[in-house]
A and B are shown apart, each in its own frame.
Chain A
Amino acid sequence: MPDFEIKKQSKEYDVVIVGSGAGGGMAAYMLANQGLKVCLLEAGADYDPAKNVTQLKNPWDSPRRGASTHFRPFGDFDASYWGWDIDGEPYTKAEGTQWDWWRARMVGGRTNHWGRISLRFGPKDFKRRSIDGLGDDWPIGYEDVKPYYDRIDKLIGVFGTNEGLENDPDGFFLPPPKPRLHEMFIKNAASKAGVPVIPSRLSILTQKINDDRGQCFYCSQCNRGCTVYGDFSSSSVLVKPALKTGNVDMITGAMAREVLTNSEGLATGISYVNKFDLMEYEVKGRTVILAASACESSRLLLNSKSPRFPNGLANNSGVVGKYLHDSTGAAMGGVLPKLFGRKRYNEDGVGGMHVYSPWWGDNKKLDFPRGYHIEYWGGMGQPAYGFGMGMQGMNGQYPVNGVQKEAGGYGSSLKEDVRYFYGAGVGMAGRGEAIPLESNYCEIDPNVVDKYGIPVLRFNVKYTEHEIKQAKHMKETFKEIMHEMGAVITWGDDGAENNYGLESPGKIIHEAGTTRMGNDPKTSALNKHNQAHDCKNLFVVDGGAFVSQADKNITWTILALSMRASEYLMDEMKKRNI
Chain B
Amino acid sequence: MDRRKSLKALALGTLGGVAILDGCKPGDAKKEAANKSVADGFTLDRQPEELERYEKVVAETFFTEPEMAVITILADIIIPKDEVSGSASEAKVPEFIEFIVKDMPEHQTPMRGGLRWLEIYTFKKFNKSFKDCSPEQRISIVDEIAYPKKAKKEVAQGVAFFNKMRDLTVTGFYTTQMGGEDLGYVGNRPNQWNGVPDDVLKQYNIAYTEKENKECVKYS
Q: Which residue numbers of A lie inside 8 Å of B, CB to CB?
A: 45-46, 50-54, 56-67, 69, 71-72, 76-77, 81, 87, 159, 161, 174-181, 184-185, 188, 199, 206-207, 211-214, 217-221, 227-229, 252, 338, 342-350, 380-392, 396, 406-412, 414-415, 418-419, 422
In the assembled complex, the CB of B29 is this many whole angstroms from the nearest CB of chain A, namely 11
Set A213, A217, A346: member contacting B10, Cβ < 8 A: A217
Which of B63-71, B116-124, B127-135, B144-152 lies at the interface? B144-152
Cα(A552)–Cα(B131), bound, Å? 58
Residue contact B147 to A344, C-beta cutoff 8 Å = no
Known: A228-B7, A414-B166. A59 touches B175 (CB 8 A): yes
Set B21, B42, B162, B175: member contacting A66, Cβ < 8 A: B175
In the assembled complex, the CB of A487 is this many whole angstroms from the nearest CB of chain B, namely 14
5 more contacts with CB within 8 A, not counting A69-B53, A176-B215, are A184-B208, A338-B204, A348-B187, A385-B175, A390-B167
19 contacts between A and B (CB under 8 A): A51-B22, A51-B45, A53-B43, A53-B44, A60-B175, A63-B96, A63-B99, A71-B50, A72-B50, A176-B216, A179-B212, A218-B190, A221-B188, A385-B100, A387-B171, A389-B167, A409-B147, A415-B82, A418-B170
Chain A residue numbers with a CB within 8 Å of B3 are: 50, 211-214, 228-229
Residue contact B193 to A63, C-beta cutoff 8 Å = no
Residue contact A60 to B171, C-beta cutoff 8 Å = no
Residue contact A389 to B217, C-beta cutoff 8 Å = no
The answer to whether B105 has its CB under 8 Å from any CB of chain A is no
Known: A46-B25, A63-B99, A338-B204. A69 touches B186 (CB 8 A): no
Chain B residue numbers with a CB within 8 Å of A389 are: 167, 170-171
Chain B residue numbers with a CB within 8 Å of A347 are: 187, 193, 196
In the assembled complex, the CB of B152 is this many whole angstroms from the nearest CB of chain A, namely 14
From B79, B150, B175, B189, name the one whose CB has the most chain A CB atoms within 10 angstroms. Answer: B175
B157-199 interface code vs A (CB 8 A; 1 in, 0 out): 0010011001100111111110110111111111111111101
Residue contact B193 to A52, C-beta cutoff 8 Å = no
Residue of A with least CB distance to B177: A60
Residue contact A175 to B215, C-beta cutoff 8 Å = yes
Chain B residue numbers with a CB within 8 Å of A411 are: 77-78, 80
The answer to whether B142 has its CB under 8 Å from any CB of chain A is yes
Set B44, B171, B195: member contacting A77, Cβ < 8 A: B44
Residue contact A71 to B166, C-beta cutoff 8 Å = no
The answer to whether B54 has its CB under 8 Å from any CB of chain A is yes
Cα(A390)–Cα(B148), bound, Å? 11
Looking at chain B, what size class is its interface with the partner chain?
35 or more
Cα(A207)–Cα(B217), bound, Å? 8
In the assembled complex, the CB of B184 is this many whole angstroms from the nearest CB of chain A, namely 4
From A66, A161, A214, A350, name the one whose CB has the most chain B CB atoms within 10 angstroms. Answer: A214
B10-39 interface code vs A (CB 8 A; 1 in, 0 out): 110001000011111101100100000000
Residue of A with least CB distance to B196: A181
Known: A71-B47, A217-B192, A419-B183. A392 touches B166 (CB 8 A): yes
Residue contact B22 to A65, C-beta cutoff 8 Å = no
The answer to whether B203 has its CB under 8 Å from any CB of chain A is yes
Chain A residue numbers with a CB within 8 Å of B54 are: 63
The answer to whether B59 has its CB under 8 Å from any CB of chain A is no
Known: A45-B31, A58-B177, A348-B188. A71 touches B53 (CB 8 A): yes
Cα(A349)–Cα(B216), bound, Å? 13
B81-111 interface code vs A (CB 8 A; 1 in, 0 out): 0101100000000001001100110000000
Cα(A71)–Cα(B45), bound, Å? 12
Set B21, B188, B204, B217: member contacting A51, Cβ < 8 A: B21
Known: A219-B188, A390-B167, A408-B149. A52 touches B53 (CB 8 A): no
In the assembled complex, the CB of A239 is this many whole angstroms from the nearest CB of chain B, namely 13
Cα(A301)–Cα(B216), bound, Å? 46
Residue contact B180 to A178, C-beta cutoff 8 Å = no
Chain B residue numbers with a CB within 8 Å of A77 are: 44
Residue contact B188 to A58, C-beta cutoff 8 Å = yes
Residue contact B79 to A414, C-beta cutoff 8 Å = yes
Set B186, B206, B215: member contacting A345, Cβ < 8 A: B186
Residue contact A415 to B85, C-beta cutoff 8 Å = yes
From B22, B58, B171, B193, name the one whose CB has the most chain A CB atoms within 10 angstroms. Answer: B193
Cα(A359)–Cα(B122), bound, Å? 59
Cα(A199)–Cα(B31), bound, Å? 41
| Interchain residue pairs A-B with the least CB separation, the first 5 | A178-B195, A388-B170, A217-B190, A59-B175, A344-B184
Set B28, B82, B184: member contacting A46, Cβ < 8 A: B28
The answer to whether B40 has its CB under 8 Å from any CB of chain A is no
